[in-house]
Structures are given as C-alpha cells and as structure tokens.
Amino acid sequence: MNLKPWLLVEFNQLGHELVGDMQHLSAVEMLRIPGMGGYAYRKIAKASGREPLPEPEEVSMTMRAAAAALICP
C-alpha cells in the first residue's frame, strides 16, 4: 500500500504494524485516527477484505433519493 508517511507513524504509535492489527477496529474508530481519510481507509479496507464506505457520489444520490421520498410521499 502506498500510504502517507505520517499516517504510518501514527499507526506505529498506536501499535498497529500490519493491516491485520486493525481488524478489530470499526470503520468509525479507524476514521478517527489522526491523518486517516477516506482514501486511506478504502485502501486499508480493500487490503483487509472489508467492505469500504460508499463513494461520495453514491452517498449524495442516496441522500437525494431519501430527501425526495420525504418531500413527495
């Protein structure tokens, strides 16, 4: 994986040396790690076999559909 050096330093400080060391963390806990963004999370999720978060355009489409359902029942 090609992650930012400061993110790797943060992982080492938290005791995570391998992707498998983060298997017990939820997506929310992983995204709360300083320096962890969506791009890095998706790369780690893919490497660990997790389902990554949906892409931003998928989320916005879902939110628009939910808003439309509220407006036009």
State how far the Cα of 61 lies from the Cα of 67, in Å rounded to an integer.
10
Residue with the two structure tokens 């790369």: 43
**Tens of pLDDT, residues 20-61:** 888 888 888 888 999 998 889 888 888 888 877 666 665 566
From the number of C-beta atoms within 10 Å of its C-beta (0-12, 13-18, 19+), residue 59 rates as exposed
Give me the pLDDT at residue 23, please.
85
Q: Which residues contact 17 (CB under 8 A, 6 or more apart)?
A: 11
| Residue 13 pLDDT level (bands cut at 50, 70, 90) | very high
Residue 9 DSSP code? H
Give me the pLDDT at residue 64, please.
66
